[in-house]
Amino acid sequence: MTTRKSPSKKQRALEILQRLKHLYPDATCSLNYSTPVQLLVATILSAQCTDERVNKVTPALFGRFPDAASLANADLEELENLVRSTGFYRNKAKNIQAACRMIATEFDSVVPNQMEQLLKLPGVARKTANVVLAHAYGINAGVTVDTHVKRLSQRLGLTKHAEPIKIEQDLMKLLPQPDWENWSIRLIYHGRAICKARSPACSACELADLCPTSDK
Ligand code: SF4
């Protein structure tokens, strides 16, 4: 009698990655922006908010304050009003302004392209820094762990952790570095379309045979 060896966690992760690439070949960052500063600002606004809502706010915001210098010198109350509908607007406006002031004064008005420097900016943690590095500069410095990536990586049995930093470390060990952002972007698509927070559609999921929590 022959017994079939079950795939290792790494093998499963790589197979999931290939299927996600096939399922969502054109997946990309869904925030609208024209410059690295605008991407940074949009990503700060996307905390606890949908990208769709952020994209409704940013045309007026970037129309009025298009770059780091104008955001750094903006009237704070006006800035708050422009970002109000994204939630936590006082904190977000304060962080956006403080980050833009630091970019203007310490980084020659250019968003830094190194993780260590990005993390010095107010309101910027690894998630935001990873998005900016990947989409503004094409640098895979880490794996972006948002609410979808966290939930799906847990359900797919690729991490047992709850803290984003530990989930990111687990995923970085399992996935090839050039695909770190590919993973996050496509997992976000899958989380929105199929593996939703309240009711995962396992019967329609192309990853079900690789997923230990599938109810298919
Ligand atoms: S099988 Fe179900 S739980 Fe697993 S990834 Fe698919 S939708 Fe999510």
In the reported structure, the alpha carbon of residue 215 is separated from the centroid of ligand 1 by a whole-number distance in angstroms of 8
Averaged pLDDT of the chain: 96
So what's the pLDDT on residue 7? 84
Model confidence at 99: pLDDT above 90: yes
Q: What is the pLDDT of residue 3?
A: 61
Q: Catalytic annotation on 146?
A: yes
Q: For residues 135 and 29, is the Cβ–Cβ distance under 8 A? A: yes
Distance from C-alpha of 69 to C-alpha of 75, rounded to nearest angstrom = 12
Q: What is the pLDDT of residues 166-180, one digit of tens each?
A: 999 999 999 999 999
pLDDT recorded at residue 4: 64
Most ligand 1 atoms within 8 A of CB, residue of 213, 215, 216 to mutate: 213
Taking alpha carbons only, the member of 124, 120, 95, 123 closest to residue 107 is 120
Cα–ligand 1 centroid distance for 78 (angstroms): 43
What are the angstrom distances between the C-alpha of 214 and each of 170, 195, 208? 21, 10, 6
Quickly state the pLDDT bin for 5 (edges 50, 70, 90): confident
Atom number of ligand 1 nearest to Cα 200: 7
Half-sphere exposure of 26 (CA within 13 A, CB side): 0
214: phi then psi, degrees, rounded to nearest 5: -65, 140
155 lines ligand 1 (CB under 6 A): yes
The whole-number average pLDDT for the span 145-157 is 97
Q: What is the pLDDT, as a whole number, of residue 216?
A: 75
Cα–Cα dist 144/136, whole Å: 14
| Separation of alpha carbons 39 and 136, rounded Å | 7
Is the CB of 84 within 6 Å of ligand 1? no
The pLDDT tens digits for 21-71 are 999 999 999 999 999 999 999 999 999 999 999 999 999 999 999 999 999
Assess contact for 96 and 44: CB atoms under 8 A. Answer: yes
Q: Is the pLDDT of residue 148 over 90?
A: yes
Mutate to test the pocket of ligand 1, among 183, 214, 216 (most ligand atoms within 8 A of CB): 214
Kindly state if the Cβ of 213 falls inside 6 Å of ligand 1.
yes
Please determine, for residue 149, whether its predicted confidence score (pLDDT) is greater than 60: yes
Percent of the chain with pLDDT over 70: 98
pLDDT in tens, 183-207: 999 999 999 999 999 999 999 999 9
Q: Which sign, positive or negative, has the C-alpha torsion 82, 88, 90, 94? A: negative
Q: Does the beta carbon of 34 sit less than 6 angstroms from any atom of ligand 1?
A: no
Share of the chain above pLDDT 90, in %: 96
Quick check: is 179 catalytic? no
pLDDT at 6: 80
Give the integer Cα–Cα distance in Å for 102 and 115.
Answer: 15
Kindly state if the Cβ of 16 falls inside 6 Å of ligand 1.
no
CA distance 202 to 108: 49
Mean of pLDDT values over 85-90: 98
202 lines ligand 1 (CB under 6 A): yes
pLDDT at res. 2? 55
Are 78 and 68 in contact by the 8 Å Cβ rule? The answer is no
Catalytic hit among 51, 92, 146, 170: 146
